Amino acid sequence: MGRFLLKRFGLAIVTLVLLSIIAFAAAQLLPGNVGRNVLGGFATQQSVDLFNHQHGVYGPVYSQYGRWIGHLLHGNLGTSLEYNVPVSGLIGPALRNSFKLALLAFILCIPVSIVGGVIAALRQGRPTDRIITVSGLSLTAVPEFVTAIVLIVVFGVALKWLPVTAQAPPGSSVFVQVKYLLLPALALTMVLFGYIARMARAGTIEALDADYTRTAVLKGLSKRTVLRKHVLRNALLPTIAVVATQVGYLIGGLIVIEKLFNYPGIGLRIYTAAQNKDFTMLETGVLIVGIVYLVATLIADLLYSLLNPRIRYGAAE
């Protein structure tokens, strides 16, 4: 197990180094000059040059990369070129916001999707299965901005039941924060439901057909016990991997949802940074989302290996 963990950890470090190079290189490819972009098209050339010099955007690209990585290794995330404040002061709250939304979306989405998928599998071929499968597929096929706009128009504008802006006023209670986050979380649930439910359904059908399930039934175990101890334990293995891959998306990829609900999450921060050529914010944001993604995948691998010993044995060979 230790060797398995070490191998996974080593791979994560290599991935992070590669990610930092890709993020930095991609930022360099963005069109425009940092100073010109921050100061605008009508700024004088003199003030643009002054800005670039003051903010360290000069010299060869590799030396700029070296300065950035050097600062990162010393815990200094740098200063936002756009706002001229420490990146940590902007990324921290944004990451916290993204975690809150992702958590609520998971709380709403995962139980509903898994239960839906398992019920569909148990009712395979019947109307209940078709309703769940077709609804899930339809919701997944609809782009998230369409789902979000429909929810905003119906529940926010027409009925005025829920706020259309996801950011609760400062100092709000947990209940109020949940109320503000409900619409975007619902939009995400609708997007993810079909995908996760389908995986749960497929896993359950496979487990129901497996020899160990047949043996358990023939042993005389109750249907409930067979389902809980043998079917679900095996059926949910692929679902865990699917859920883990969604963590990165939920934390850093919700640009459209965050824009529509005006929610200051890390996805929106990265998007704005890319638009405004705010190198430090963009590179650090991408790297942090990468770390979150790697950690989530690592946890999923651990869970997977705990539930399925063949994985860790395979890795150790």
* Residues in contact with another protein by the rule CB under 8 A: 30-33, 36-47, 50-51, 80, 82-85, 90, 93, 149, 152-153, 156-157, 160, 163-165, 167, 259-262, 264, 268-269, 272, 275-277
Residue 174 CB, nearest approach to another protein (Å): 20
In terms of CB distance, is 160 or 219 closer to another protein? 160
**Which of 38, 95 has the CB closer to another protein?**
38
Q: Which is nearer to another protein, 168 or 294 (CB)?
A: 168
Tell me the closest approach of the beta carbon of residue 71 to another protein, in angstroms: 20
Least Cβ distance, residue 29 to another protein (angstroms):
12
CB of 155 to another protein, least distance (A): 9
**Which residue, 55 or 198, is less far from another protein as judged by CB?**
55
Alpha-carbon distance of 183 to 199, in angstroms, equals: 25
Nearest distance from residue 77's CB to another protein, in Å?
15
- Residue placing its CB nearer to another protein in the complex, 225 or 275: 275
